[in-house]
A and B are shown apart, each in its own frame.
Chain A
Amino acid sequence: MIANNGLRGAPSRLAFSAALAAFGLTASPVLSNDKLVELAKDPANWVMTGRDYNAQNFSEMTDINKETVKQLRPAWSFSTGVLNGHEGTPLVVGDVMYVHSPFPNTVFALDLNEPGRIIWQNKPKQNPTARAVACCDVVNRGLAYWPGDGDVEPLIFRTLLDGHIEALDAKTGETRWKMENSDIKVGSTLTIAPYVIKDLVLVGSSGAELGVRGYVTAYDVKTGEQKWRAFATGPDEDIRLAEDFNLANPQYGQKNLGIETWEGDAWKIGGGTNWGWYAYDPDVDLFYYGSGNPAPWNETMRPGDNKWTMAIWGRDPDDGMAKFAYQKTPHDEWDYAGVNVMMLSEQEDKDGTPRKLLTHPDRNGIVYTLDRTNGDLVSADKLDDTVNWTTGVQLDTGLPVRDPEFGTRMDHKATDICPSAMGYHNQGHDSYDPDRKLFFMGINHICMDWEPFMLPYRAGQFFVGATLTMYPGPKGDRENALGLGQYKAYDAITGEFKWEVMERFSVWGGTMATAGGLTFYGTLDGFIKARDSDTGELLWKFKLPSGVIGHPMTYKHDGRQYVAINYGVGGWPGVGLVFDLADPTAGLGSVGAFRRLQEFTQQGGGVMVFSIDGESPYSDPMVGEYDPAMPGEPT
């Protein structure tokens, strides 16, 4: 831990007045989640992974717009000092940007008045063995912020690959507490970003490729005391089902299915980890997330629907009890880990009824929209017409109709399955424009051949049991292994795509939209791009040092709008490049699909920040200069 002179400068005036409003204008005691809601209303801040609890990655700011975007230039940049995949996005609270890194998961606090100053950095000591049990690069998806109360100062939360959840003092970076959530000895790691609701911090889980039974855990932000833990498989008391679980949709299934949809004890190593993203509705008081794939990938070794893997969950944050769950992919046969982004919106359905909705583009190639108060299925559309494992989802039963030709099974090599195990959508955190009522989605266009094999389970060892070959989908260039991605604007009610464009590689990192009529995203071949939200026209791009697998963010500081993005290629698409692999079936089959990536990018790691004309605190070159006349002053 290195800390220097602490926080310099006061919080921005906007942030300060928002905090004052939260304290002064509310009659009842202010819960900290209310404070986060208030802080998120201020464009100066980006206080959680998806900006606010709706997880829309949307900004009301219009300074950077269709007209001015051509003037967007780098304002400043910061190298994290490590390579490997840089997922997620930095947080900004007041005058400070908090930056996280892949393993060893160092956190930096940067002074936005003078971004060349590292206010503090907290570099943990981790067991390097953790690297060996990470399935898909040593990535980490971000930090969480708790605004503090009368007793405890604001805190930053981070997860460590080796399984710890840690609370750091936001002002000094000092560790307040550190708890064990996952044990690398059994193949259980952490890559998910923590998530703060009220005075709780939620922590997910990783390791379904090593047979880890998934769970989500809530800790007291102040003490680290465990409040509840809910599993994805097994007995109902472990899964934590509310009395009225799935009452609105009994056809989804209700009691005892965490056991009955498995043979024997297979649920104990049944996967269902959650390493994606969360969203939360303070009015309904439910949070939403998806559970991952069942283990192993060899479907023949686990008969049954394998509940409650691959499900969309609505849980009460106070006690973790589930009000509803909808299983998207019963008895997975393709590793369509169902952990993807949950974006909340309020729209009128086809009958003109206003609904509180949740929209979720899944790995399986279907984008689901549910009523987030009770789990009703509102729409389920294909992300692309080339999806072939299912002919479609029945909205009344919720069941996907499988096309047996594209299923997988022992003693059989299935070919041309779309999507591939990497999904038509992966971990990217997308965006929603509430004015245009459009979701901007970074999509993959990858299909596969798949052949399972038998293997034993040994705790701490990989438990996959399938050999994969992946390649571009039908709309890509299979001969040259290019055309692996798409970018689309989607209407969840009509099911129509307003526009769609092809990309050279998968749009892995997610998207951000602004009221300036722009949608931003990073690409694996190393660009940040801005498209016209109405037409999809490419209006601007910039060549970053390395490929992007995180989502863009925006904030206002000193009256100026900035756009920031992590660069540093890696993650599952980058494992061939990162670990120097040549066998096309290596990296769980991704090496072959992304064999051309190294011709466009190399590893990197850092944050690049943009503004109109590249204006920054250093537009005055004297800012931050060493002053020999004041030798005792820490600069």
Chain B
Amino acid sequence: MKIILTAALAAGLGFAAGGAAFAYDGTNCRAPGNCWEPKPGYPEKVEGSEYDPLHDPTEVSKQGESLQAMDARNAQRVAHFKQTGEFVYDVSKIPAQ
């Protein structure tokens, strides 16, 4: 209840321009293209809250690493294909430049 009251007060003070922000309706923007607001009773930031996703940085970086490795293998395939006219998928069978 305390949090809801705070949100209502903030709206009343003009923090949210487009009307009373008793609930998130998507029309009170802090900047163009940035109109999210926490719902009443929910945190502005989830870090440190009961809803903290606690993402493991190692897990979160795996996609980027995987893309880099695929791109590197593809580059070897393309280089060999362009040079010889022969396409070899298995990079271990592509002779070193």
A interface, CB within 8 angstroms of B: 175-181, 183, 185-186, 188, 212-213, 223-226, 250-254, 257, 260-261, 263-266, 268-269, 300-305, 307, 327, 330-331, 394, 397, 399-404, 407, 409-410, 454, 456-459
Contact = CB atoms under 8 A, between A and B. Distances in A.
A268 B51 contact: no
Contacts of A181: 70
Contacts of A302: 53
Nearest to B78: A225
Q: Secondary structure of the A side of the interface?
A: loop
Given A252-B33, A263-B46, A401-B27, A269 B77 contact: no
A253 B30 CA distance: 11
Given A305-B34, A327-B33, A401-B26, A268 B61 contact: yes
Given A186-B63, A250-B32, A265 B26 contact: no
A305 B26 CA distance: 9
B5 interface: no
B51 A454 contact: yes
Contacts of B39: 404, 407, 409
Please report whether the interface of chain B is mostly helix, strand, loop or mixed according to DSSP: loop
A251 B32 CA distance: 5
Given A252-B32, A399-B29, 4 more contacts: A264-B47, A409-B42, A410-B42, A456-B56
A186 B24 contact: no
Size bracket of the B interface: 35 or more
A399 B35 contact: yes
Question: Residue among B51, B53, B55, B74 with the most chain A CB within 10 A?
Answer: B53
A260 B55 CA distance: 18
**Interchain residue pairs A-B with the least CB separation, the first 8:** A253-B33, A404-B23, A459-B62, A180-B70, A183-B66, A402-B26, A225-B78, A301-B53
Which has the most chain A C-beta neighbours within 10 Å: B26, B27, B35, B55? B26
Given A402-B24, A459-B59, A305 B81 contact: no
Contacts of B71: 226
B57 interface: yes
B51 A301 contact: yes
B23 A180 contact: no
Contacts of A331: 26, 36
B33 A268 contact: no
- Of B33, B36, B78, B81, the most chain A CB neighbours within 10 A belong to B33
Contacts of B61: 268
18 contacts: A179-B78, A183-B63, A186-B63, A186-B66, A188-B66, A223-B82, A225-B82, A253-B31, A261-B34, A263-B46, A303-B44, A305-B35, A330-B26, A330-B35, A403-B25, A407-B39, A454-B53, A457-B60
B63 A459 contact: yes
Given A301-B51, A409-B39, A253 B32 contact: yes
B54 interface: yes
Contacts of A301: 46, 51, 53
B88 to A, nearest CB: 10
Contacts of A327: 33
A290 to B, nearest CB: 17
B38 interface: yes
Contacts of A264: 47, 55
Contact of B87 (A175, A402, A403): A175
A224 B78 CA distance: 7
B9 to A, nearest CB: 18
A305 B46 contact: no
A188 B73 contact: no
B64 interface: yes
Contacts of B31: 253, 260
Contact of B36 (A224, A268, A305, A403): A305
Contacts of B60: 265, 268-269, 457
A307 B33 contact: yes
A407 B61 CA distance: 31
A368 to B, nearest CB: 16
Interface in B45-97: 45-47, 51, 53-57, 59-64, 66-67, 70-71, 73-75, 77-78, 81-82, 87, 89
Contact of B38 (A250, A265, A303): A303
A462 to B, nearest CB: 14
B23 to A, nearest CB: 4
A223 B81 contact: yes
A257 B23 CA distance: 23
A14 B64 CA distance: 48
B51 A410 contact: yes
B74 A180 contact: yes
B93 to A, nearest CB: 14
